[in-house]
Amino acid sequence: MRASVNRSPGRRPSSTGTYTYPSTTSGSRDPTTVHSTVRPRTARPRTGRSTIGGIDAQQIICAVSESRGVSPAVGLAFVNLDTCEAVLCQLSDTQTYVRTLQKLYVFAPYDILMVSSAENPKSALFSIIEENLEDLDATLTLLDRKYWAESAGLEYIQQLSFAEDVAAVKAAIAGNYFAVCCVAATLKYIEHSLGKTFAYHSLRIKFEPSEGAMMIDISTIHALELIQNLEDARSKKCLFGMLNQTSTPMGARLLRSNLLQPLTNQDTLELRFDALDELSTKEDMFFGVKQATKAFFDIDKFLSSPILARVNTVLNDDVRYSKSPLDLRNNRTYAVKAGVNGLLDVSRTTYKENTDDVHTYVSELSEEHRIPIEVKFDNVRHFYLRLKYADLPATGLPAVFSNAVKKKDKIECLTIALAKMNAKIIDSHNECLLLSDELIHELLIEARGFASPLFKISEGIAMLDMISAFASLVTTKEYCRPKFDATLGIKNGRHPMKERFQKAQYIPNDVYATQQTRFQIITGCNMSGKSTYIRSIALMIVMAQIGCFVPAQYAAIPIRHQLFARVSMDDSIEANVSTFAAEMRETAFILKNIDSRSIAIIDELGRGTSTRDGLAIAIAIAEALVGSRALIWFATHFTELAAVLSERNGVINLHLAVDLAGHNRMQMLYKVASGAASEQHYGIALARTMPLPHALLDRAEIVAEDLRNRETQRKQTSRTVITQRKRRLVLDLREHLVQAQRGTMGETALIGWLKELQKEFVVRMSVLNDEEKAAAQCSPFQDIDDGRTSQTYDNGTATPSGQVSGLSCNEHTDTEQTGECIRECRSPSEGFGSSVSDADSALTWTNTTTF
């Protein structure tokens, strides 16, 4: 693997004032050093620079520049030397620069350029990029401030961009000062440090806006194994490896780019779904496309062949670079084939005749003076004569020779006649060059005319190749076209990689989430499938937002703009942080960036410290995440966390079911069920499968059951908890009625469902009323509110939360087609009318209303 930072020890001076910054990330750190809140690197296999995610790496140079402020504007410019493309972007980033890091990871630059003043004192962006150099697999090079000029960037764009794109590019970059400065620095570095230049109007330059893509940070990319398997970097057991059935290199690159920044534009995604639907249902079209795209494997050769054929009709095949001045001159003179231009042919004939006259004249001069004479050529004197000093007659050098210069044992000189011949040769040669340059310039203009269409053709082939790769997958398994909706509903969803690569049959699960059920706590014993379940949800959302069908029987998915994953990890030795420190850094990052348009999966938070501290921190973080209104799946072993948050608005409990068949047998069902884990002491149950003394295990179960009964009794007699449950029950009623109003059930089915809903509500509210009366008799004082009883309805009405009703409309809907039950359940929305906020009035309504 290429070194992450320095190419040579210390700083490397150059003509442009650049130097490569030496590594400051290796070695141990002072434990008192304050670390930034950027997410720590996740341990992963290291791969060679030659490939990235199974794709041949390209030589890409990147420049990064930033403004200073609370929400800094960051400009980036990426120049691909292999494809002659330049991508400019400018984004408003957070102080953790997560979007900047995502862009860098997507493009995978070979070199990252920054302003030299960013080093001392170190800017926040400089420090964050430096910390992530290993993950980015790039070098960090500093460039003097004078090369980051907006005027130079605009001049480069005017000169190098495709002629037909200049106006559009200038309009797109208007006001994006830092992106323009970055392209100036990048092209200046390529010109001076790498010795490469671009011909006029030969570089494809485009501006890529920051909107329209989901933000996925690097740690989440690794945790979900989107591009690379964590255990084996060469394995295809990752989402990219599973989806990558492309036939062309650009198709694979497009797939990788889409996985790292999924789309958020619904119209674009629907068009991809339409194409995939048609391709996967029409067998002849599918095989025809697959066969056609295979011919484009060597796309560069395939598309350049017509252009090369046109070039070969003009240029001579035997034209080669030569170091000899005379050979170099002749190569330029005869670069264009004979017969292409009549005037050029006449000029070259004149040039040849004048050159032949020189050789004839020298031969006659040698015979006349009986002196061996050589004809030489250089770019200053052109043709001149060389004689050996020993061959001169006794009378010395004849008078016809002039401008004589002695060099060792030789004399170099001219004659008046030879000087006149040189003048004629120069005139004829200049005329040849003028005509040849004109023809080659016309040829270049003609060739450049193909560049823009060829880029579009290449992009079209890449998109078709990627869609056909999706079709190869969805036709072999039960995949469905996702529907975009405010409610997340998945029927029989599956983990795409687990299903494909594991030998045992995969057990599917349902997913349902609205704002009322946005925070889902997943409990269950070890190896029950919690991590696989929450990862499958994230992966299905990513697949939907790249335009691929998802592994489910039915799927309704809301478009998300951010995806976060905080999964269990080991101590990070390289970063010199413990498991708990790494957990807290990642969690701080999520809390700082998460919003209502995000989705997050959290796995076993707080396990890196003591049980009491871990539980306390997990509860505090969970409460903060509930307030973000993002969709969150929170897998944990802390059953107390599920109990404490069960009454919160927007929180529900789920668990992975386990079959305890007999005393010494535990079978994982891998099936999600509502409520917290009913088997509170699954650790004891698992211990019974081991050869431990039965008396010891019986005693442990008695103690655990006694503690559990005391806690249950205390909670049931709490009037505050009962009030929370009553209000939560009313909130659930409102949501079910909203779903019914927006659903598609027939009148008969709707009446039957409403009757069942009414009956359940009356029964459950009556039970809570009885518990409240009993609690009042036990204690003459009202329980002190702990501050969590006042939450907010979706429409703003104050209410506490509670456990979601076990009755949902999909349990009372006569479904005639797959996924209909989930289609009936939709999220609450405005326009339903005033919400029910009083439990007694709600109970009166359900007792008096008949259907």
Q: What is the CATH number of the domain that holds 404?
A: 1.10.1420.10
Of the residues 157, 190, 210, the one at which a domain ends: 210
Does 634 or 775 have the greater pLDDT score? 634
Domain presence at residue 380:
yes
Together in a domain, 385 and 421: yes
- The pLDDT of residue 65 is 93
- The pLDDT of residue 18 is 46
Count CB atoms within 10 A of the CB of residue 534. Answer: 24
Together in a domain, 494 and 445: no
How do 651-659 and 631-635 pair as beta strands?
A: unpaired
Give the separation between CA 395 and CA 403, rounded to whole angstroms. Answer: 18
Together in a domain, 584 and 456: no
Domain presence at residue 192:
yes
> Going along 625-783, which residue ranges are E strands?
631-635, 651-659, 667-674
Each residue's pLDDT tens digit, 790-845: 343 343 333 333 333 333 444 333 333 333 443 333 333 333 333 333 444 444 44
pLDDT at 779 over 70: no
Does 846 or 112 have the greater pLDDT score? 112
Domain presence at residue 692:
no
For the stretch 768-773, contacts whose Cβ atoms lie closer than 8 Å and that sit 24 or more positions apart, written own/partner, are: 768/722, 768/725, 768/726, 768/729, 769/726, 769/843, 771/716, 771/722, 772/719, 772/722, 772/723, 772/726
For every residue of 525-560, DSSP letters joined together read: -TTSSHHHHHHHHHHHHHHHTTT--BSSSEEEE---
Task: Please name every residue paired with 577 in a beta bridge, in sequence order, or none if there are none.
Answer: 572
Together in a domain, 461 and 493: no
- The pLDDT of residue 52 is 54
Each residue's pLDDT tens digit, 287-341: 999 888 887 776 666 667 777 888 888 888 877 777 788 888 888 888 888 888 8
How do 374-378 and 85-92 pair as beta strands?
A: unpaired
Does 786 or 767 have the greater pLDDT score? 767
**How much of the chain, in percent, has pLDDT values that exceed 70?**
78
Give the separation between CA 762 and CA 754, rounded to whole angstroms. Answer: 12
Each residue's pLDDT tens digit, 1-49: 343 343 333 333 344 444 454 433 333 333 333 333 344 444 344 444 4
Of the residues 163, 195, 210, the one at which a domain ends: 210
Together in a domain, 464 and 494: no
- In this structure, are residues 16 and 113 in contact, taking their beta carbons and an 8 Å threshold? no
Of the residues 457, 476, 495, the one at which a domain ends: 476
Q: Which residues are CB-contacts of 136 (< 8 A; sequence separation ≥ 6)?
A: 101, 104, 105, 108, 109, 112, 129
Nearest Cα to 659, choosing from 523, 529, 528? 528
The sign of the torsion formed by the CA atoms of 830, 831, 832, 834 equals positive
Range in 224-233, 661-670, 772-781 the model is least confident about: 772-781
Name the amino acid, one letter, at 763. V
- The pLDDT of residue 311 is 84
Q: Residues in the chain, how many? A: 851
Task: Please name every residue paired with 63 in a beta bridge, in sequence order, or none if there are none.
Answer: 77, 113
- The pLDDT of residue 643 is 84
Nearest Cα to 603, choosing from 44, 42, 34? 42
Domain presence at residue 711:
no
Together in a domain, 91 and 66: yes
Does 146 or 682 have the greater pLDDT score? 146
Nearest Cα to 401, choosing from 391, 387, 390, 381? 387
Grade residue 56 by pLDDT with cuts at 50, 70 and 90. Answer: low
Together in a domain, 472 and 487: no
Mean pLDDT across the stretch 546-557?
96
- The pLDDT of residue 394 is 81
Count CB atoms within 10 A of the CB of residue 572. Answer: 17
Together in a domain, 423 and 543: no
CATH number, domain of 591, equals 3.40.50.300
- In this structure, are residues 435 and 344 in contact, taking their beta carbons and an 8 Å threshold? yes
Together in a domain, 553 and 631: yes
Backbone phi and psi for residue 309, each to the nearest 5 degrees, phi listed first = -65, -40
Per the structure, the complete domain to which residue 48 belongs is given by 19-23+37-210
Looking at the structure of the chain, the number of domains it has is 4
Does 704 or 436 have the greater pLDDT score? 436
* Torsion angle (degrees, nearest 10) of CA 622, 627, 632, 637: 10
Domain presence at residue 6:
no
Grade residue 271 by pLDDT with cuts at 50, 70 and 90. Answer: very high
- In this structure, are residues 396 and 380 in contact, taking their beta carbons and an 8 Å threshold? no
Give the separation between CA 758 and CA 805, rounded to whole angstroms. Answer: 12
Secondary-structure breakdown of the chain: helix, strand, coil percentages, each rounded to the nearest 5? 45, 15, 35
Together in a domain, 734 and 768: yes
Together in a domain, 633 and 562: yes
pLDDT at 352 over 50: yes
Nearest Cα to 262, choosing from 642, 588, 548, 686? 548
Together in a domain, 366 and 500: no
Name the amino acid, one letter, at 728. R
Secondary structure (3-state) at 260? helix
Number of helices (H) and strands (E), helices first, in the chain?
A: 26, 26
